[in-house]
Amino acid sequence: MQSNQLTEQGQLRHFLTIEGLKKPMLTEIMDRAEQFSGITQRQVKKVPLLRGKTIINLFFENSTRTRSTFELAAKRLSADVMNFNISTSATSKGESLLDTLHNLEAMHTDMFVVRHDQSGAAEFIAQHVAPHVSVINAGDGCHAHPTQAMLDMFTIRRHKPEFHNLRVAIVGDILHSRVARSQIQALSILGVGEIRVIGPQTLLPRDCQTLGVHVYHDMDQGLKDVDVVIMLRLQLERMKGALIPSAREYYRCYGLSPEKLRLAKPDAIVMHPGPINRGVEIASAVADGPQSVILEQVTHGIAIRMAVMSMALGAQQQETDT
């Protein structure tokens, strides 16, 4: 996968997964995002880096927040953006995905931002686009959500600059979460001291321990002395069968209440990739409390996506020039 994502010079061509990337690449993405984060404070929130480039948001799965932040990121880089409505597209009328892609490429597209409910969809598209086109994975099935993981890493770095001595707990539906997989990969690459996953047996992958994490089924034990608490949304749309007794019982055992949060370090931060199910995964008092950085994550998502887009299209431009 890494060779497909990177150019021969080791620069980012596509951004499909965190897996296979090295620490310097993740650091470069965060450093680039740091430069872009100040743009929101300007009167004119734009830079001309991608002027003349065309970016298409190709969403086969709904996500208002992710699509909106990708759209804002592209516009702040001065790119032309089109949101492709799959429900009214030719793909719903029998035209194949590849036919649709090639028709969109014929409109001089430079980048596809792809969200799909099938794992591997973004990689499939990346294998079939023209050489000058970049593909960014905005979430595919249960597989990966690399820009979400990077905005989470960026948010952590803003509050806890030294990754190597951190304890990070990821709580909830690990089994169905593409976000959790990408987070674990990113935290491992960045050298986090300890990664914990907390959840019921039914919501953890069988091979969980092979991911280099410590597994906890008891939330009180898992939260003890952690620096970062990442709560996950229950992926009810991806569940098959009754994997939890009820939402109320889930909250009792694995919801983040003010009482449970006190088990973490006093300066621990609380994160959630959203959307939040209040009273199921997290109490409102915690989500809106002083330790929550959930809204910061949304803000940082724009800067991270600006960084990834500019790096990928910059690498493509260099290949074209040479």
Angstrom CA distances, 69 to 50, 300, 308, 318, stand at 16, 9, 13, 26
At which residue do the structure tokens 């969403």 appear? 59
248 is in an annotated binding site: no
Question: Cα dihedral sign for 175, 178, 181, 183?
Answer: negative
- Here the tokens at position 78 are 């001065």
Cβ contact 281:203 at 8 Å: no
42 is in an annotated binding site: no
First vs last C-alpha separation in the chain: 24
Q: How many CB atoms lie within 10 A of CB 54?
A: 17
Q: Which 8-state DSSP code applies to residue 6?
A: B
93 is in an annotated binding site: yes
145 is in an annotated binding site: yes
What is the C-alpha separation between 68 and 203, in angstroms, rounded?
29
DSSP string, 108-152: T--EEEEEESSTTHHHHHHHHS-TT-EEEEEEETTTB-HHHHHHH
191 is in an annotated binding site: no
What is the C-alpha separation between 168 and 188, in angstroms, rounded?
11
91 is in an annotated binding site: no
274 is in an annotated binding site: yes
181 is in an annotated binding site: no
What is the C-alpha separation between 184 and 192, in angstroms, rounded?
10
322 is in an annotated binding site: no
Cβ contact 153:186 at 8 Å: yes
- CA 226 remoteness from chain centre: 22
What is the C-alpha separation between 273 and 153, in angstroms, rounded?
12
233 is in an annotated binding site: yes
Known binding residues: 65-66, 93, 115, 145, 148, 178, 233, 274-275
Known binding residues for L-aspartate: 93, 178, 233
Known binding residues for carbamoyl phosphate: 65-66, 115, 145, 148, 274-275
